[in-house]
Structure 1
Amino acid sequence: MSTTADLIVALKKELKASQITYAALAEGLGMAESSVKRMLARGDMPLSRIDAICQTLKLDFAELARRVADTQPLLKELTPEQERAVVADKKLLLVAICVLSQWTPEQMTSEYRLTEAECVKYLVQLDRIGIIDLRPMNRYRLKLSKAFRWQPNGPVMHYFREHVVLDYYGGDFDGRAETLLLLQGSVGKGIAPSLVERMQRLAHDFARQHHSDQKLPEDKRESYTLLLAMRRWEFSVFAEMRR
């Protein structure tokens, strides 16, 4: 959500772009120029005053808020509290995964047993959590970066380990463009971090390709789940047999 300070910074930019001087603004607000300068310099004013300045600029307040939202840095991960809110409701988690894939509300309701009212309700919740910026006509802007990931030991990954891992690996991985590789080996201590970095680049490539291909017709796209992992680990049954 936009803070008052963010809104005032955006207002200053709009005033400059519109070539409206502080003197002209003061006249429009019925205030002294010095008071206007002081008010804008403090970076704090009531929303009613911000709305009055918007009217002078002939700018809708909602549009100003959207412009501020567009300039906010995208999140690379959520807080534990945000993740707990997401996994607290299975349907909310479903909608969260859908928005990560940039699905429209129409796609969600056509693919899953979600009513339009339910879909809107969950989009509103995701807006409150901070994952999306919900806009008119139930369109939204994703507030997560392309490098976004769930916290490794957070609530979502805990849910994944408990409910999803066996379901995912229960498949045969023998379909078109499917594969499952299991490799074990010893590598130099200085090499392992570079292998992880390469895996992260592959994940980023997958995410970029996903976003790029959203412009393709639905019948030209297929859903895939890429799971990458590497850790220092030995099967416990084998470890028990070590000397």
Structure 2
Amino acid sequence: MSQASSLIKTLKRQLRAQGKTYADVAQWLALSEASVKRLFAEQHFTLARLECICDQLNIEFVELVQAMQNDEQRLQQLTQAQEQSIADDRELFLVAVCVINGYSFNEIHHQYQLSEAECTQQLVKLERLKLIDLLPGNRIRRRVAANFRWRPGGPIQCFFQQYLASEFFRSRFDSDSEKLMVLNGLLSPAGNEEWQQTMQRLAKEFHALCERESSLPIHKRFGTTSVLAVRQWQSVLFKEYARVDR
């Protein structure tokens, strides 16, 4: 990815974090919203326009560049070995999920039955895995990207499928904070691929929303898990009735 692309990507992340839209940028730059969308799509900004947007976001241009550099150094995925070391240690797994979701040291300690020494021990392990930087005063600086995800088919995903999937779906999904949609239809390979791309966009929107709300106090947010899945599949129930010669 070019530096220009990285800078624009970081700018968009800064806008989302402050809840700003293309409409806001259009107003700042005295342009139409369509023109602003084209600027982002073509990644064609003058320095003056970038500085104007930074002013409205109350950040210095140099801070935007620094944020870009920090983003480029952030982890989007762990190695197989790193994930395995987390999956093999339940306390480490718990603390890893917490810090990825922005918990502070005190929030982990107060919410879970871990002593300060145990919390510190697990955070040191995560620092060795380069998932975080552990700063003075037990402050935590995450080193994961906003779009960080576990490895497809990796140890964490396998752990979820083996131990947590049945628990996750053991619900009526009828409360205000829950929803289950089961979609079934016939798609071509091209249609299936298009739907997977839509799922990728939904995943990006989920990460963007989490980032935008990251400044809210922890007691105003709750753990939210969304499972997006698609596969070419037919229930065993129907397979039993299928003609063998098809």
Q: TM-score range by the shorter chain?
A: 0.5 to 0.7
Q: 1:218 to 1:73 in 2, by over 3 A?
A: closer
Larger Rg: 1
The range that moved more, 212-221 or 130-139, is 212-221
Q: Aligned Cα RMSD in Å? A: 1.8
Aligned to 1:236: 236
One-letter amino acid of the structure 1 residue matched with residue 215 of structure 2: K
Q: SS of the residue aligned with 2:125?
A: helix
Q: 1:186 to 1:71 in 2, by over 3 A?
A: closer
Give the 5 Å matches for 1:150-229: 150-229=150-229
Do the aligned residues in 2 keep the contact of 1:85 with 1:129 (CA within 8 Å)?
no
Q: 1:185 to 1:91 in 2, by over 3 A?
A: same
Q: SS of the residue aligned with 2:204?
A: helix
Aligned to 2:12: none
Aligned residues: 176
Q: SS of the residue aligned with 2:133?
A: strand
Do the aligned residues in 1 keep the contact of 2:78 with 2:151 (CA within 8 Å)?
yes
Deviations 1:154-201 (A, max 9, x none): 111111111000000001111113110111111122121121111111
Do the aligned residues in 1 keep the contact of 2:133 with 2:141 (CA within 8 Å)?
yes
Q: SS of the residue aligned with 2:128?
A: helix
TM-score, normalised via structure 2 length: 0.67
1:70 Cα deviation from its structure 2 partner: 4.0
Aligned to 2:126: 126
1:239 Cα deviation from its structure 2 partner: 1.8
One-letter amino acid of the structure 1 residue matched with residue 113 of structure 2: R
Q: SS of the residue aligned with 2:108?
A: helix
1:204 Cα deviation from its structure 2 partner: 1.5
1:103 aligns with 2:103: yes
Q: SS of the residue aligned with 1:233?
A: coil
One-letter amino acid of the structure 1 residue matched with residue 95 of structure 2: V
Aligned to 1:75: 75
Aligned to 1:85: 85
Q: SS of the residue aligned with 1:133?
A: strand
- In 1, the alpha carbon distance for the partners of 2:219 and 2:151 equals 33
Percent of aligned pairs with the same amino acid: 34
Do the aligned residues in 2 keep the contact of 1:133 with 1:140 (CA within 8 Å)?
yes
1:88 Cα deviation from its structure 2 partner: 1.1
1:137 aligns with 2:133: no
TM-score, normalised via structure 1 length: 0.68
Work out which structure has the larger RCO, using CA pairs closer than 8 Å and 6 or more positions apart in sequence: 2
1:71 Cα deviation from its structure 2 partner: 7.0
- In 1, the alpha carbon distance for the partners of 2:117 and 2:137 equals 13
Deviations 1:81-125 (A, max 9, x none): 000000111111000000111100111111110111111110000
Runs of 4+ in 1 over 6 A off after TM superposition: none
- In 2, the alpha carbon distance for the partners of 1:232 and 1:146 equals 30
For structure 1, the 5+ residue unaligned runs are 1-66
Aligned to 2:147: 147
1:72 Cα deviation from its structure 2 partner: 5.4
